[in-house]
Structure 1
């Protein structure tokens, strides 16, 4: 791709979906007013290390690629509110992700995640978390701090037990646990249902 971004420093919306792209030109690092970036349905395997230069980003869509990891620099995106990374090859998340303190929606469906960062609960304004079709065997205890979480999708992982704190998340409205390996549920789950949370088992 030619350096088409030279001089476009006021650009706010960039849609590059369905182009067989594997990289973004380095000149895109100067798009400091960019709010929305869509690189879905391409062939990216890595993301540029200068991603944190795009300080104004509030939403990134990068699903349907071949990403094996997210760069640690993603933690520099202080304005980020939505991150869509479904259908990639992620096996872990960088701990720096929890520095995205405004992140509200995190969609990680259909990756290869086996665990989450221990500090994951520091994403304190997170309201929607989609982790279905991964390989999670447990959840970090820090997630008990996700008091604004409304929707949690854990379908099709490898969970055999659930922590008691999961039933105590005060804002939870929908919890999907189907297609795991659960043998029992914490007793507190009855209170969760009585509070109005819809639970799928």
Structure 2
């Protein structure tokens, strides 16, 4: 757990000790960012990130940004200052309703957490994140999986539970084309039909389908685990 210290111009010591002043900042100081390469400010009622904070993070070569559980309505405008080094971006539990097209600049991202926002779509440019391994878009307002996701060929984990998704594209142009996908969570959506070809995704180790209104596979099969579900689905693929 990273402890959040005072701001960039804090009179406190390099170790973050000392009395709290009137200008207490929710952001870590440059020394903490230098030592951890992390810009973290969680549950701090933040509505924006000052440019000077991001400029300092750029100088300290920060590669992890975690701004979860705040009041952000958009991705911080100057976050692209960190695009060259950023590998993990956590923006869950905010009020973000859109992702800008310049998300493609963050080409080194491995982990992107957008859960618990107000999203209903993602830009096609997000498909340019060819190193992305983990994507979490759960607890949003998606009625379908954005097609840009099918371009993420290195994706290993996709969490899209607790949305309003109505269907699954498991074809080669959809989820079936994600050869490295190990974890897929589509629980608590509005999925009416589970396509049998989903059973061909043999690398799946964890498949979440609970809480959807489909009739097949039955709960008895779901309770037997992922491999049992995939085997059942393969038996239903038309010959």
| TM > 0.5 | yes
What is aligned with 1:148? 180
By how many angstroms is 1:169 displaced? 1.5
Distance change in 2, residues 1:51/1:165 (3 Å): farther
What is aligned with 2:3? none
Distance in 1 between the 2:93 and 2:148 partners?
Answer: 27
What is aligned with 1:137? 166
Q: What is the RMSD computed on CA atoms of the aligned residues? A: 2.9
Structure 2-normalised TM-score?
Answer: 0.71
Structure 1-normalised TM-score?
Answer: 0.83
What is aligned with 2:93? 64
Aligned with 2:127 (options 90, 98, 102): 98
Query: Does residue 38 of the first structure (1) align with residue 66 of the second (2)?
Result: yes
Moved more, 22-31 or 88-97: 22-31
Aligned with 2:227 (options 189, 193, 199): 193
By how many angstroms is 1:88 displaced? 1.1
Aligned with 1:126 (options 148, 155, 169): 155
Aligned with 2:117 (options 88, 102, 126): 88
Aligned residues: 193
Distance in 2 between the 1:29 and 1:115 partners?
Answer: 34
Does the 8 A contact of 2:142 with 2:163 survive in 1?
Answer: yes
Query: Does residue 26 of the first structure (1) align with residue 58 of the second (2)?
Result: no
Does the 8 A contact of 1:22 with 1:44 survive in 2?
Answer: yes
Does the 8 A contact of 1:19 with 1:42 survive in 2?
Answer: yes
The runs of 5 or more residues in structure 1 that have no matched partner are none
SS at match of 2:147: coil
SS at match of 1:111: coil
By how many angstroms is 1:28 displaced? 4.2
